[in-house]
Amino acid sequence: MPRQLHFNAFMRPASIHTGAWRYPGAWPDMNFNFAHIKRAIQTLEAAKFDAFFMADHMAVLNMPMDALKRSHTSTSFEPFTLLSALSQCTERIGLVATGSTTFDVPYHIARRFASLDHLSNGRAGWNIVTTSNPDAALNFGMDEHMEHDERYKRAREFYDVVTGLWDSWADDAFIRDVESGVFFDPEKMHVLNHKGKYLAVRGPLNIARPVQGWPVIVQAGASDVGRQLAAETAEMVFTALPNMKAGQAFCADVKGRMQKAGRNPAHMTIMPACMVILGETKKEAQQKRALLDSKVNYANAIATLSIALGHDASKFDPDQPLPDDIPESNASKSGRERAIALGKRENLTVRQLAQRMGGFGGLAMVGTAKSVADEMEEWLMTDAADGFTLQFPYLPGGLDDFCHQVIPELQRRGLFRREYEGKTLRENLGLPRPENQFFARKSTATAAE
């Protein structure tokens, strides 16, 4: 079967673009209106998306109040509560939630995701994060955040504990024999008794093994330790990549590490974040992008540009291009060069550049349905991605445009499914169901007899 794209909808509170909630026709309360979210996920399911991905914050975003008061991402539903409700009004689309390995404990995470997997009949996915917001530590009795590499070491052990807890019971442990009065077979229950450097968990989990064996494992780390964690554990990777060349390098690196770890690279779907803005013509799409960027407050935007340049950009004329003689600074050289190159490439004024970077500075495909399909096809065919984690510029319009315009174009080319391949998220991603690490041999032996 020819390769096809996979799509994951990144439904961070409302949308990723800072000005999204102010765009004409957008739902300003998208992040806290269940009817709107329900309508969105049902549209995505009708379009045959793989998954609906709900990110999470463990604290109000740490930014100056003048910026925070303009942010539509300051509040949102707790992911498990939301996805459990959405599981009852959908049938096939995957339900992925973030679960922090730094500010939660394995038993809670294992139990919640197992519950979601049962409630959804096998559609749950766990996005493993270590949580980067330093303010989150203050909400969990810590004076400061755990050091970066140490967080990832804890996350690796955390993964082992959670997956061990999911395997607490053999798939056929619950016999429920009414005549004998035996509800489960004690020989098919495993007590984990984990005692490691960071965690001590006895087990077993007090819920049956998930429908999928394990919910799909998702990872988003971009650092060296993050990539290694993905190579050892992840089945879906959500990442930020600036261009196709970077995508090719990332895929080769992570899947190469995966192979060295003894895993099959075909069992990982890499889906870089991408915002898509559509128009009848490329010019119309660019005008939509400009309007969207214009909704970003200038004071917030210029602060973002100043950080990138390592220089106070508020002193520049906002309606002129960046000056050519910006002094060197201690700012990230790559970030500074990207900002300057973007301004020159698109002939942006300081105001436009600031609002672009303050709104959404990641990978974006701006054009017609055909041109976007062309770009996505090229990413797929050159091994730069297996699909995309789509970030809609505003809701519901941006989501509707993609589902009603790009999806049919990709289906016409044979690059995207017309129907779901199966009932579970694993089946739709082409992933195997993990064997129980404590009972697999018994199951195999029984089958052989």
1 found inside a domain: no
Instruction: Give residue 326's Cα distance to chain centre.
Output: 36
Distance of CA 182 to the CA centre of its chain: 42
| Alpha carbon distance 84, 120 (integer Å) | 8
Do 42 and 174 belong to one domain?
yes
* 351 and 232 in a common domain: no
What is the pLDDT at residue 246? 94
359, 394, 411 - which closes a domain: 359
Choose among 187, 196, 130, 193: nearest CA to 165: 193
Give the count of alpha carbons within 13 A of 87, CB side only.
26
Which tens digit of pLDDT belongs to each residue from 257-313? Answer: 999 999 999 999 999 999 999 999 999 999 999 999 999 888 878 888 887 888 888
Instruction: For residues 80 and 100, state if they share a domain.
Output: yes
Instruction: Give whole-number Cα distances, 101 to 127, 287, 309, in Å.
Output: 10, 42, 34
Q: What are 396's two structure tokens? A: 């519901």
Residue 196 is encoded by which pair of tokens?
A: 């490691």
Same domain, 266 and 290: no
pTM of the full structure: 0.89
Shared domain for 255 and 288, answered yes or no, is no
∠ CA 267-406-413, rounded to 5°: 70
Nearest Cα residue to 309 out of 288, 296, 327: 327
- Alpha-carbon span 99 to 80, nearest angstrom: 9
Same-domain check for residues 255 and 311: no
Q: What contacts 221, CB < 8 A, 6 or more positions away?
A: 130, 152, 227, 229, 230
Domain ranges, residue 205: 6-274+368-448
- Specify the pLDDT at position 67: 65
Give a yes or no: residue 257 inside a domain.
Answer: yes
Q: What is the pLDDT of residue 336?
A: 77
CB count within 10 Å of CB 46 equals: 12
The neighbouring-strand residues paired with 433 are none
- The domain tally of the chain equals 2
Tokens 């935007």 correspond to 301
The alpha-carbon radius of gyration of the chain (Å, integer) is 23
Q: Which parts of the chain sit beneath pLDDT 50?
A: 14, 443-449
Cα 207 from Cα 173, distance rounded (Å): 11
